[in-house]
Amino acid sequence: MKTPDAPGRPLDADSGEPLHLQVRGHLRAQIMNHSLPPGTSLPSEAQLQVRYGVSRSVVRQALGALADEGLIERGRGRGSTVAPRREHHRLVHQTSGLSAQLGSTGANVGTEVLSLAVQDADASTAVLGTEQVLALERLRTADGVPIAVIHTWLPVPAFSTLTAEDLHDASLHAVLGEKFGVQIASGKRQIRAVSGDTDLLRLLELEASSPVLLLEGTSFDQDGRPVEVFSTWHHPDHVVFDIDIQSEAAGLDPAGGPPSSPAADTPDAVADRARRLGAELLEFADDLSHHGS
């Protein structure tokens, strides 16, 4: 597939940012927002020179940086093409956790427990109905690549005996079932695109000011009791959210819970939320490209 012949965004020679980083940022933004999908042939070095009004050495530096990131493949005599991307799909309307979903696709899933401590409950965890909660922070990888940072809060004393060793390279939901007899049966989920802070971006190996996909929610057990509040920040380049839209007649809650009101979760409403999320991410990508990120 060849890239469309489109004019480049003018570079800012007075910004203080090297020109090769600006060119790299413009091309990177197009790759990340799928304006240049995998398999697309990039313009030749000579065409990029004309497009951005820069020297060949600047273009080669920009392409070299993209190749080092694994975003493009370069070959003698065949130019540069956008590299294939391994995307992990998360079915956000299902109650199964990220670990179980990734494991089912054959990915090698790893989990590092970053912290585990008892703390006082606050407004965000009040739904659990306890004065104290067990706060858990984990880093999840797939095939060795960081893809998510997960903060989870569980009611105390119900899960006081949970240990970091229980959760090393393990699914929390599986451990809750095996150790406590608790099955996650339903839940509520919210999705938004947010800016990551310094610590989060470091853990996910993302650049400064990168957007991340935030999935927040509350999970309920087989008896309808709230057993988990969580916030999961996903790497936007490696995780894709999938939403299975059901007809109103099916009477199914997209969060995986009991039947919900048609007005709240119609197919059009779910699709509209997905479109808004996509628009937010594109706005983030466009803003970042202006800054050469």
Q: What is the pLDDT of residue 239?
A: 76
Instruction: Using the predicted structure, report yes or no on whether residue 85 has a pLDDT greater than 90.
Output: no
Instruction: Using the predicted structure, report yes or no on whether residue 90 has a pLDDT greater than 70.
Output: no
Record the pTM.
0.61
* pLDDT band at 245; cut points 50, 70, 90: low
Average pLDDT score over the chain: 79
Residue pair 228/97 in contact (Cβ under 8 Å)? The answer is no
Q: 174-232, pLDDT tens digit by residue?
A: 999 999 999 988 888 888 889 889 999 999 988 887 889 898 999 999 999 999 999 99
Cα distances (angstroms) measured from residue 280 to each of 204, 230, 268: 20, 22, 18
Instruction: Using the predicted structure, report yes or no on whether residue 95 has a pLDDT greater than 80.
Output: no
Q: Tokens 């910004």 map to which residue?
A: 15
- Token couple for 41: 């042939």
Instruction: Using the predicted structure, report yes or no on whether residue 36 has a pLDDT greater than 80.
Output: yes
Residue 169 φ/ψ, nearest 5 degrees = 50, 40
Q: What is the pLDDT of residue 121?
A: 96
Q: What is the pLDDT of residue 7?
A: 47
Q: How far apart are the first and last CA of the chain?
A: 25
Cα-to-chain-centroid distance, residue 63: 25
Give one DSSP letter per residue of 225-242, joined into a string: -EEEEEEEEEPTTTEEEE
Q: Report the pLDDT averaged over residues 253-271.
A: 47
Angle, helices 45-52/56-68, rounded to nearest 10 degrees: 110
When mean pLDDT is compared across 36-45, 113-122, 159-168, 272-281, the lowest value belongs to 272-281
Q: Report the pLDDT averaged over residues 141-167.
A: 92
Between CA 184 and CA 170 the distance in angstroms is: 16
Give residues with Cβ within 8 angstroms of 2, minimum separation 6: 40, 41
